[in-house]
Amino acid sequence: MIVQEAQRRARASRGRTWAHAADEFYLLAGLPFPDAESYDGYPQYENGIGLVRSFLDDLAEHPLPSSTRTSAVLVTGTMFAPVLEDAARDAGIEVLAVPNRFLGGNVGVAGLLAGRDIARSIAEHGGQGTYLVPDVVLNSDALTLDDMTVRDIERTSGARVRIVGSTAEDMARALAQL
């Protein structure tokens, strides 16, 4: 891969990887993610570079619990769903991949999901149990891209919705508390 060659050259000459492919590249190509060290401390984390590697490493330290007292469903975008499904499979936890109708089908990250898309997917799923929605769907005013609150999503979907952090540790803690 061209990016890997650029990374190798940059590391040899500069001591840093420098060139990074976005997580979507690895997900779409079905390629394994680089190890944590190659992300140079994650300077592009907010731009979607290294999020999956960070989650996988966090998951190794904080596995999702295999038993909960209530039915819980982890909600995410379509892009991350396969990674989360792999993580949740052994624990017997269901994952709901929400398609992004608001911005279009080629946008698959959880952070760009609209409240109405989340509510619609939960309602279509059956609305049973507790739906754990990642906090990245909310802005600093606790609103989704289409100005919905968590209460709006609950009312529209008819289900219990709980906002959780996006790390494996946050998810494991939330599942253990249910």
Per-residue model confidence as pLDDT tens digits over 82-118 = 999 999 998 889 999 999 999 987 899 999 999 999 9
- Choose the final residue of a domain: 59, 79, 99: 59
Kindly state whether residues 127 and 55 are assigned to the same domain. Answer: no
d(CA 154, CA 143): 13
Q: Average model confidence (pLDDT) for the chain?
A: 91
Domain count, the chain: 2
- Choose the final residue of a domain: 59, 80, 108: 59
Kindly state whether residues 33 and 68 are assigned to the same domain. Answer: no
Q: Are 114 and 103 in contact (CB under 8 A)?
A: yes
b/e map 52-88, b = 16+ CB within 10 Å: bbbbeebbeeeebbeebeeebbbbbbbbbbebbeebb
pTM, entire model:
0.88
Kindly state whether residues 160 and 132 are assigned to the same domain. Answer: yes
- Choose the final residue of a domain: 44, 59, 74: 59
Per-residue model confidence as pLDDT tens digits over 119-138 = 999 999 998 889 999 999 99
Per-residue model confidence as pLDDT tens digits over 43-74 = 888 888 899 999 999 999 999 987 666 689 99
Kindly state whether residues 96 and 144 are assigned to the same domain. Answer: yes
Q: Are 68 and 178 in contact (CB under 8 A)?
A: yes
The range of the structural domain enclosing residue 44 comes to 2-59
Kindly state whether residues 114 and 150 are assigned to the same domain. Answer: yes
Kindly state whether residues 34 and 70 are assigned to the same domain. Answer: no
Q: In this structure, what CATH number is given to the domain that contains residue 72?
A: 3.40.50
* CA dihedral sign of residues 140, 161, 99, 95: positive
Kindly state whether residues 52 and 93 are assigned to the same domain. Answer: no
Token readout for 57 is 């490493």
Q: Which pLDDT belongs to residue 106? A: 86
